[in-house]
Amino acid sequence: MTPRGRMRRFLNGEQVDRIPNGLGGCETASLHSVAYHRLKNVLDVDDPTNRVCTFMTNAVFEPSVLDAMEGDIILLGSGMCPSRFWGPDAAHEWRPLRIWDVELQVANAWEFRRDPDGTWWWGNRMCPPGGLYFDPPDGQHVAKSFEDTPAPSPDDFNPSHDLPESLLDRLAEDAEWLHENTDYCIACGEIAGGLQCQPGGTQAWWMRMVSEPEACHEFLDKAVDATLARLRQLDDAVGAYCDIAGIADDMGDTRGITIGPELWQQIYKPHYRRLFTEWHKITDMKINLHTCGATIDILDDLIECGVDIYNPVQVSANGMEPTGLKERFGDRLIFYGGGFDAVQLPATTSPDVVYETVRANITALSRNGGYIFAGVHNLPGDMPEAHLGAMLQAYRDCRDDLVCRP
């Protein structure tokens, strides 16, 4: 069974031969580029390509790595990266960069520089000496107070209904190339857009959901309209080749739904219901929803709205224990991720504990099928080779033992 054939059967609710392997299959099921370098050592893959996918410094998984680890899903492209991933002309859109003692390739349009003290800058984001991630400088991420933030009018909010024609042409060419030259399931990244708009800033938006809910509904109505228009264009370009498309909205933190489940249900649920209902009318691409944190209090709502795949399954967050998740939702939702959680398994953990924990997570989440293997979000840059090896061995040792039917 080819990866594409396996995933198409799996997504259609049919039995397949093993648990699908989705490492690298979306922007939030990857590895930090340093960990990806180590993964190639574990797999004995001699491929110098290590392309940075997004600001999270996660890697684009190459066919050489997917083949070695028996991966099933390949990422077509991402709205967070200006360079194309595939096709004979892709190499011209990347340039080399050596950082963290690893040879990387970065998009031509990205600007990097290094200060004399060893601080790296990626545009206006910085990575201090000894760091592994690029973040805004101290203080720049702090939200303005509600009183200092203007309250935009919904009348002035007009998100674009169009994806750039050049992007659509590029994605169409790359999707066709992947379909003809590989046998992976092709997943489109977070390109269509979504409901992450927060006009006026996060703090002001949170206050406005309580004080002016009707204005928030007007904003979100417009966001849904724009996303659906872009999805129609995306489906015309790549729908014949892609089986999955991504959308993201971080609704939770480690404690629960950030704004509380009741407010989320009042403000967001009707718009997600409309978005996902229309999504399924427009395209056959399954909805891969990325949302971090403890979201158990709204998973029933998301399923009711029409979500197909849920990523990254943050199993260390409050209430997200794998056995309980599977018992409550496993017959109605595909879980994607949850295998290795860096909060559960920091770099100092013994490889034996990593193996047992990952195997237990996979076993629980894949009971009776409906599970795509990956880690919790992009696995960190300090993840040791021994942990990577233990994680993959745990997957190999239980992937064929279970009925793999969603």
Residue 401 CB contacts under 8 Å (≥ 6 apart), including other chains: none
Task: For residue 131, count other CB atoms closer than 10 A to its CB.
Answer: 14
Per-residue pLDDT 10s for the chain (406 aa) are 999 999 999 999 999 999 999 999 999 999 999 999 999 999 999 999 999 999 999 999 999 999 999 999 999 999 999 999 999 999 999 999 999 999 999 999 999 999 999 999 999 999 999 999 999 987 555 555 555 566 899 999 999 999 999 999 999 999 999 999 999 999 999 999 999 989 999 999 999 999 999 999 999 999 999 999 999 999 999 999 999 999 999 999 999 999 999 999 999 999 999 999 999 999 999 999 999 999 999 999 999 999 999 999 999 999 999 999 999 999 999 999 999 999 999 999 999 999 999 999 999 999 989 999 999 999 999 999 999 999 999 999 998 765 555 4
d(CA 289, CA 291): 6
Token pair belonging to 191: 């390109």
Q: What is the pTM of this model?
A: 0.95
21: phi then psi, degrees, rounded to nearest 5? -105, 110
Q: What is the pLDDT of residue 140?
A: 57
In this structure, are residues 197 and 275 in contact, taking their beta carbons and an 8 Å threshold?
no
DSSP one-letter string for 131-183: --S-BPPTTTTPPPPGGGS----GGG----S---HHHHHHHHHHHHHHHHH--
Residues contacting 320, CB < 8 A, separation 6+: 294, 295, 296, 313, 314
* Two structure tokens written together for 372: 């795509």
Domains along the chain?
Answer: 3-110+143-398 (3.20.20.210)
pLDDT at 137: 84
